[in-house]
Amino acid sequence: MRVQVFSTLRGALGGRSSVELEHVGTWSVKELLAELEKQFPGFREKLHEGVSILVNGRNIAFLQGLETDVPPDAVVSFIPPSAGG
Amino acid sequence: MFGWIGQVLRVDLTKGKISVEKLDSGLAEKFLGARGLASKILYDEVPPQTDALSPKNKLLLFTGALTGTGAISASRYNAVTKSPLTGTIAASNSGGYWGPELKFAGFDGIIVEGASEAPVYLWVEDGHAEIRSAAHLWGKSTHETEDILRGETDPDAKVLSIGPAGEKLVRIACIVNDKNRAAGRSGVGAVMGSKKLKAIVVRGTGGIKVAEMKAFRDTVLDILKNKVKPNATTGVGLPAYGTALLVNVINAHGIFPTFNFRTGIFERANDISGEKLAETFLVRKKACFSCPISCGRATVIPSGKYKSSGEGPEYEAAWALGADCGIYDLAAVTRANHLCNELGLDPISLGSTLACAIELYEKGYLSREQAGMELKWGDGEMLVKATELTARREGLGDLLAEGSYRMASELGHPELSMSTKAQEYPAYDPRGAQGIGLNYATSNRGGCHVRGYMISPEILGSPQKLDPLTTKDKAAWTKTFQDLTAAVDSAGICLFTTFAIGAPELADMLKYATGIDYTVERVLEVGERVWNLERLFNLAAGILADKDTLAPRLLNEPMPEGPAKGLVVKLGEMLPEYYKLRGWSDEGVPLEATLERLGLA
């Protein structure tokens, strides 16, 4: 599984833009967050209001929220409020 | 008048005559200024069937009621004319410092009509104007032109000009001011070139009166302190990374058009991202007049074959010159973007037209002989060369200068042009964001995101989250976004403020600046009025409902991968509802009752 963070959230993964996590079976987003907090203490604290979480490109707001399944080969993106054009 | 100056400059280049006219206060109240007011004047004075590049077309450069007042991000002017690219009404919007300076010089706008026989520029200084020879400037870049003209006039003058692309009537030429800000879309630079008008130089030392100074100042400071600064987008993300922070975000959503919209995921997106730009060529951020957001990026490529300095790329340019052509060499993309500013080209249309040419070449519809060079995905050197050739209409550039739709049609394959009404789409694949597809199809200036930025609710979750893959409620949202945007553009503030503020704040600023009782309802009504007026112009120009559509690829070829895999744009589910909500007939024509309600009958 690949976890990626963008722009102002890079500090959450210790300055990295992505990390690979290995696990067997399917986690929920809630379980993934707990694992990330364990590996990168303070991770959850950095997810300020308005951060979107995508599982394979789909915002979990349109799936099952924090109960959304995260398969072992998923790409999970944490996106801070962004805009442009 | 308060907010507005109350004077307009009319310049007849055929006769070499300049006159000063009073601004019609009734029209100003109904249309606000900039995009709205200039569109009304164009509609009244230029028959919509007029050839866009003939002397009968007019070019209007208008500020808004708030431009230059100190309202939030109130830097904007609009270039309004009939577009030589789309045949529709064109309204291209730019920031920087030129717009406010025009008001400081005593004018809300300039109407340029006719055409000069020899190159000229216009010098405007504190209520006076004169036409001067630009023979020594013809062929020069926008940067050279600005430096020379400030030397000739006033070191503090603000300069708006065209580059070689506008002079050569390139249909995707833009107007550039303050060296790196551009009225970018719809070929407005070619109209200026057709009039042999190289530049407009402005110096003003006057001020702008607002009706209720204390209330206006308190409102602006309240918006700044409690809305714009604390907002994660306008207070943090855009200042830190500029608009190109969207590269990775949109790619993660699977709607980052790649290889001429053949897919929505670019494997090397991070290489052309705002984060990468910050690590490499970014020197500092840059702000327009009275803007606390500072999304502009001053960039320098310090060495190598692309050594140059300038601004950008912005998100759209990074995409068009990058992913859409399969290019991930950030130095080449940045250099090409610098060239677009210097030569006066719209990077969105240029990149998309080049991507179309590469696909035509790959499929054998454009020969090596016709192209004069090899075209292939991912070739940064090809990009830089094509940019220079296009601005001068040389070799391949003469084909690209026509825009993708004319080029692909000429070669027998218009379906490969990723455009609506002949204007190229920006950097969002609508198969994965259905609402932006409806906006592209109905935009009054063809393929465009800043007529109704549905990406905001569909992808960015602002002001609320809408599922991008469904069509539910998209017609109503699109209409609201289009109307609000038309009002924002007409007021003269930057659209980026709307990530932090909405119609209530805009109404308050307008009310205290002008002394007119603007409300949320009145502001949205102004926007709706402007939208319908633009539609009337287009219908009279022969651009009918059959043009409210999308490139066949987006309607018929399912997205091959990512979250929108298997989807096309379901335009047929949204368009009839959109027409109905607009108060238009099934044929997309505004009903008499709608026009009467908006004061357009």
Cβ–Cβ pairs < 8 A, chains A and B: 99
Question: 10 Å Cβ neighbour count for B207?
Answer: 11
The torsion angles phi and psi of B492, rounded to 5 degrees, stand at 95, 15
How far is A37 from A29, CA to CA, in rounded Å? Answer: 12
In B, which residues are within 8 Å of A4 by CB distance?
248, 252
* Residue B438 sits in the same domain as residue B525: yes
- Does residue A85 carry a pLDDT above 80? no
Least confident range from A5-19, B30-44, B81-95, B184-198: namely A5-19
* Residue B297 sits in the same domain as residue B327: yes
Chain A contact for B377 (CB, 8 A cutoff)? no
Classify residue B230: in a domain, yes or no.
Answer: no
The pLDDT of residue A50 is 80
Q: Please identify which residue in the block is written with the tokens 């003058």.
A: B157
Q: Flag if A81 and B246 touch (Cβ within 8 Å).
A: no
Whether the Cβ atoms of residue B94 and residue B184 lie closer than 8 Å to each other: yes
Q: What angle do CA B347, B41, B449 make, to 5 degrees?
A: 30
For residue B111, what are the β-bridge partners? Answer: B10, B60
How confident is residue A82, by pLDDT bands cut at 50, 70 and 90? confident
Q: Show which of B382, B404, B424 is a domain's final residue.
A: B424
Q: What angle do CA B272, B278, B280 make, to 5 degrees?
A: 75
Classify residue B208: in a domain, yes or no.
Answer: no
What CATH number should be reported for the domain holding residue B164?
Answer: 3.60.9.10
How far is B361 from B379, CA to CA, in rounded Å? Answer: 14
* Residue B191 sits in the same domain as residue B321: no
Q: Flag if B246 and A4 touch (Cβ within 8 Å).
A: no
Q: The tokens of B101 are what?
A: 């300076």
Nearest chain A Cα to B462, which residue?
A: A81
* Residue B451 sits in the same domain as residue B371: no
Q: Flag if B460 and A81 touch (Cβ within 8 Å).
A: yes
* Residue B34 sits in the same domain as residue B166: yes
**Residue B336, burial from CB neighbour count under 10 angstroms (0-12, 13-18, 19+):** buried
Q: Using one digit for the tens of pLDDT, what is the confidence trace for B329-370?
A: 999 999 999 999 999 999 999 999 999 999 999 999 999 999
Q: Flag if A85 and B246 touch (Cβ within 8 Å).
A: yes
Neighbouring C-alpha atoms within 13 Å toward the C-beta of B26: 1
What CATH number should be reported for the domain holding residue B456?
Answer: 1.10.599.10
Residue A72 CA to its chain's centroid (Å)? 14
Nearest chain A Cα to B449, which residue?
A: A85
Q: Using one digit for the tens of pLDDT, what is the confidence trace for B54-77?
A: 999 999 999 999 999 999 999 999
Q: The tokens of B418 are what?
A: 């990723």
Q: Flag if B237 and A48 touch (Cβ within 8 Å).
A: no
Q: Flag if A81 and B469 touch (Cβ within 8 Å).
A: no
How far is B427 from B348, CA to CA, in rounded Å? Answer: 8
Q: Flag if A85 and B315 touch (Cβ within 8 Å).
A: yes
* Residue B361 sits in the same domain as residue B400: yes
Classify residue B111: in a domain, yes or no.
Answer: yes
Identity of the residue numbered B204: G
Domain boundaries, chain A: 2-79
* Residue B158 sits in the same domain as residue B307: no
In B, which residues are within 8 Å of A77 by CB distance?
252
Classify residue B481: in a domain, yes or no.
Answer: yes
The pLDDT of residue B194 is 98
Q: Could you say which of A7, A58, A59 has the minimum Cβ distance to residue B237?
A: A7
Classify residue B234: in a domain, yes or no.
Answer: no
* Residue B287 sits in the same domain as residue B341: yes
Chain A contact for B154 (CB, 8 A cutoff)? no
How far is B181 from B282, CA to CA, in rounded Å? Answer: 17
What CATH number should be reported for the domain holding residue B352?
Answer: 1.10.569.10
| Interface list for chain A against chain B, based on CB atoms closer than 8 Å | 4, 6-8, 10, 17, 48-50, 52, 54, 56-59, 61-62, 75, 77, 79-85
How far is B138 from B167, CA to CA, in rounded Å? Answer: 8
- Does residue B376 carry a pLDDT above 80? yes
Q: Please identify which residue in the block is written with the tokens 């070829």.
A: B557
In A, which residues are within 8 Å of B249 by CB distance?
6-7, 79, 82
Q: Could you say which of B241, B295, B461 has the minimum Cβ distance to residue A7?
A: B241
SS3 B283: strand
- Does residue B159 carry a pLDDT above 90? yes
Q: Please identify which residue in the block is written with the tokens 């990058």.
A: B322
Whether the Cβ atoms of residue B366 and residue B357 lie closer than 8 Å to each other: yes
Q: What angle do CA B275, B279, B284 make, to 5 degrees?
A: 95
Classify residue B537: in a domain, yes or no.
Answer: yes
Give the residue among A76, A79, A54, A6 at the shortest CA–CA distance from B274. Answer: A6
Whether the Cβ atoms of residue B33 and residue B63 lie closer than 8 Å to each other: yes
Percent of the residues in chain B that have a pLDDT greater than 90, as a whole number? 98
In A, which residues are within 8 Å of B449 by CB distance?
85
Chain A contact for B245 (CB, 8 A cutoff)? yes
Least confident range from B235-249, B427-441, B463-477: namely B235-249
Classify residue B414: in a domain, yes or no.
Answer: yes
Q: Flag if A8 and B275 touch (Cβ within 8 Å).
A: no
How far is B442 from B56, CA to CA, in rounded Å? Answer: 27
* Residue B93 sits in the same domain as residue B115: yes
Q: Using one digit for the tens of pLDDT, what is the confidence trace for B408-452?
A: 999 999 999 999 999 999 999 999 999 999 999 999 999 999 999
Chain A contact for B287 (CB, 8 A cutoff)? no
ipTM: 0.95
How confident is residue A47, by pLDDT bands cut at 50, 70 and 90? confident
How far is A80 from A71, CA to CA, in rounded Å? Answer: 23
Whether the Cβ atoms of residue B62 and residue B80 lie closer than 8 Å to each other: yes
User: For the residues B218-234, what does the mean pLDDT come to?
Assistant: 95
Q: Using one digit for the tens of pLDDT, what is the confidence trace for B95-152?
A: 999 999 999 999 999 999 999 999 999 999 999 999 999 999 999 999 999 999 999 9
How far is B350 from B337, CA to CA, in rounded Å? Answer: 10
Q: For residue B257, what are the domain limits?
A: 242-424
How confident is residue B240, by pLDDT bands cut at 50, 70 and 90? confident
Whether the Cβ atoms of residue B559 and residue B264 lie closer than 8 Å to each other: yes
Q: Could you say which of B234, B236, B563 has the minimum Cβ distance to residue A56?
A: B563
Q: The tokens of B47 are what?
A: 């028959």
Q: Show which of B391, B424, B457 is a domain's final residue.
A: B424
Residue B440 CA to its chain's centroid (Å)? 14
In A, which residues are within 8 Å of B447 by CB distance?
none
Chain A contact for B447 (CB, 8 A cutoff)? no
Give the residue among B338, B321, B340, B427 at the shortest CA–CA distance from B383. Answer: B321
Whether the Cβ atoms of residue B457 and residue B448 lie closer than 8 Å to each other: no
In A, which residues are within 8 Å of B469 by CB distance?
62
Chain A contact for B405 (CB, 8 A cutoff)? no
Q: How far is B183 from chain A (nearest CA, A)?
A: 14
Q: Show which of B203, B232, B266 is a domain's final residue.
A: B203
Classify domain A2-79 at the CATH superfamily level.
Answer: Beta-grasp domain (3.10.20.30)
Q: What angle do CA B462, B467, B468 make, to 5 degrees?
A: 90
Cα dist. B248→A15, B216, B236, B424 in Å? Answer: 16, 39, 17, 22
Q: The tokens of A21 are what?
A: 């996590």
- Does residue A49 carry a pLDDT above 80? no
Identity of the residue numbered B475: A
Chain A contact for B335 (CB, 8 A cutoff)? no
Whether the Cβ atoms of residue B353 and residue B403 lie closer than 8 Å to each other: yes
Q: How far is B253 from chain A (nearest CA, A)?
A: 5
Q: How far is B92 from chain A (nearest CA, A)?
A: 14
Across chain B, mean pLDDT equals: 97
Q: Are strands B197-203 and B120-125 parallel, antiparallel or unpaired?
A: parallel
* Residue B198 sits in the same domain as residue B272: no
Q: The tokens of A80 are what?
A: 């801070």
Q: Could you say which of B275, B462, B564 has the minimum Cβ distance to residue A7?
A: B275
Classify residue B217: in a domain, yes or no.
Answer: no
* Residue B459 sits in the same domain as residue B419: no
User: For the residues B378-395, what does the mean pLDDT come to?
Assistant: 98
Chain A contact for B469 (CB, 8 A cutoff)? yes
Hey, of B93, B243, B248, which one would you mutate to test binding to chain A, going by the most A CBs within 10 A of its CB?
Answer: B248
Q: The tokens of B495 are what?
A: 């659209």
